[in-house]
Amino acid sequence: MASKKNLVANRESLAHKVRYAASRPDRIAPYLKRAARDRWLAFKHPDHVNYYRAVMASDTRRNPEAAVGSQTHERWLALGQMQFDYLVEHGLAPGARMLDIGCGNLRAGWRFIDYLEAGHYYGIDISPDILIAAKRTLTERGLQAKVPHLTITKDLKLDFLPDAYFDVVHAHSVFSHSPIEIIEECLAHVGRVLAPGGHFDFTFDRTTGAEHQVLREDFYYRTETLTALAAKHGLRARFMEDWEKLGHGQSKIRVTA
């Protein structure tokens, strides 16, 4: 389960790429293939949301579980369990209303749907392809009676959702694929949909060095950048030290209104 963090590496630098290629020559060809595909998609889709929607369509066609970052079914199950256990340990109750931003193919979502009262789970994603896979997961798990909401969105303004409604907002491995303007858009609007006493948990790829991105797919941020951005929009942000103990490759911040 453990994933080692490297908080100082700049994955976009030439020096890092040379070192990585020298130590893992078997990964050079897949990287070059992915880089060529991403450059073509970026050329076709200058807007980031449309670009990443195309990336997800391509990845989902091959393997929906890999599209959300799990290379094996066992890893898909383990990461979903980790997310579920963490929120339950932090007080998630069956009666809570949950908004799952970037719900994917319900890696963790099916567990939340099963646990929460009917109609209390609301999953959104930018990818229609991954939402079709999510509905397949829902069917395979026999959770139709829980009537979850699974909705496509083109942005994170959340303007189609009610005020002060969700006790928990959750975004796992979303900001790790988002430029800063999309993160700010979410932080500018999430406070409106949080119920009194509610919180918003999100993971991110953390660096203590230079902030950077790789192939417009992976974005690395310093903790203080994101906590300051939350404060700009009247939110309190706290780095979740206990999440670090789980050994996940990303870090977690909790935001409250």
The correct answer on CATH 3.40.50.150 for the domain covering 46-256 is yes
Where exactly are the structural domains of the chain?
46-256
Residue-wise pLDDT tens digits, 160-180: 999 999 999 999 999 999 999
Q: What is the mean pLDDT of residues 100-115?
A: 97
State the angle between helix axes of 128-140 and 48-62 in degrees (0 to 180), rounded to the nearest 10: 40
Q: How confident is the model over 114-144, as pLDDT tens digits?
A: 999 999 999 999 999 999 999 999 999 999 9
- pLDDT tens-place string over residues 62-86: 899 988 888 899 999 999 999 999 9
| pLDDT classification of 11: cutoffs 50, 70, 90 | low
* pLDDT score of 191: 98
pLDDT at 29 over 50: yes
Q: Which of 91, 80, 72, 86 is nearest to 114 (CA)?
A: 80
- State pTM to two decimals: 0.88
Nearest partner of 200 among 83, 122, 96, 99, judged by Cα: 99
